């Protein structure tokens, strides 16, 4: 493979990893200004392959490819909770909905982000109780 992220060149993977060097840089509106985002890589998974993203604090976020699509998150009230990631459904100022993961302890940063972006929390989906309430409301 010859990539620093894969120390064993004999490692057999169906996954295709393409590093974007240099990364594609683009601007995203943020409040009244913009921020620069960097698109650093592309990963193509085959069915039943998974990649795991990690945080500095040890949190893990998995994406799993299936023949029918993807598991976009690990279990909302299991693995995410265990790794300190709180799933939240939010709505932005142009009525687009997003599922985001907030690191425990970073809620003040998230609240500032919501204020700047003009977004609002639709619901927190980080506990079994909250998910059961949501399920009951949706019938």
Instruction: Give the pLDDT confidence of 1-46 residue by residue, as tens digits.
Output: 344 555 555 555 678 999 999 999 999 888 788 889 999 999 999 9
Task: Please indicate, yes or no, if residue 87 is contained in any of the structural domains.
Answer: yes
Q: Is the peptide bond before 88 cis (omega within 30 degrees of 0)?
A: no
Overall size of the chain counted in residues: 139
Is-contact 139 129, C-beta < 8 A? no
Is-contact 62 50, C-beta < 8 A? yes
User: Residue 13's pLDDT is what?
Assistant: 62
Contacts of 96 (CB under 8 A, 6+ apart): none
Task: Please indicate, yes or no, if residue 31 is contained in any of the structural domains.
Answer: yes
User: Residue 2's pLDDT is what?
Assistant: 44
Predicted confidence (pLDDT) per residue in 74-83, tens digit: 999 999 999 9
User: Residue 1's pLDDT is what?
Assistant: 39
User: Which structural domain range is residue 59 located in?
Assistant: 16-138
Helix (H, G, I), strand (E, B) or coil at 10: coil
CA distance linking residue 68 with residue 79, whole number of Å: 22
Predicted confidence (pLDDT) per residue in 90-114, tens digit: 999 999 999 999 999 999 999 999 9
Task: Please indicate, yes or no, if residue 4 is contained in any of the structural domains.
Answer: no
Phi, psi (deg, nearest 5) at residue 41: -160, 165
Task: Please indicate, yes or no, if residue 9 is contained in any of the structural domains.
Answer: no
- Indicate the average pLDDT of the chain: 89
When divided into structural domains, the chain yields a total of 1
Task: Please indicate, yes or no, if residue 130 is contained in any of the structural domains.
Answer: yes
User: Residue 12's pLDDT is what?
Assistant: 58
Task: Please indicate, yes or no, if residue 6 is contained in any of the structural domains.
Answer: no
57: number of CA atoms within 13 Å, CB side? Answer: 11
Percent of the chain beyond pLDDT 70?
91
Contacts of 50 (CB under 8 A, 6+ apart): 62, 63, 64, 65
Task: Please indicate, yes or no, if residue 96 is contained in any of the structural domains.
Answer: yes
User: Residue 83's pLDDT is what?
Assistant: 92
Task: Please indicate, yes or no, if residue 92 is contained in any of the structural domains.
Answer: yes
């Amino acid at each position: 493979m010859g990539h620093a992220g894969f120390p064993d060149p004999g490692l057999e993977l169906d996954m295709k990893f393409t590093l974007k060097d240099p990364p594609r840089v683009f601007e995203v509106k943020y409040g009244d200004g913009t921020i620069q985002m960097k698109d650093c890589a592309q990963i193509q998974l085959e069915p039943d392959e998974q990649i795991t993203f990690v945080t500095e604090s040890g949190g893990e976020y998995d994406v799993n490819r299936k023949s029918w699509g993807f598991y976009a998150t690990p279990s909302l009230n299991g693995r995410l909770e265990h790794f300190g990631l709180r799933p939240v459904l939010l709505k932005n100022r142009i009525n687009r909905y997003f599922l985001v993961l907030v690191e425990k302890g970073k809620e003040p940063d998230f609240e500032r982000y919501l204020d700047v972006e003009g977004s609002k929390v639709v619901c927190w989906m980080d506990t079994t109780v909250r998910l059961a309430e949501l399920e009951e409301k949706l019938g």
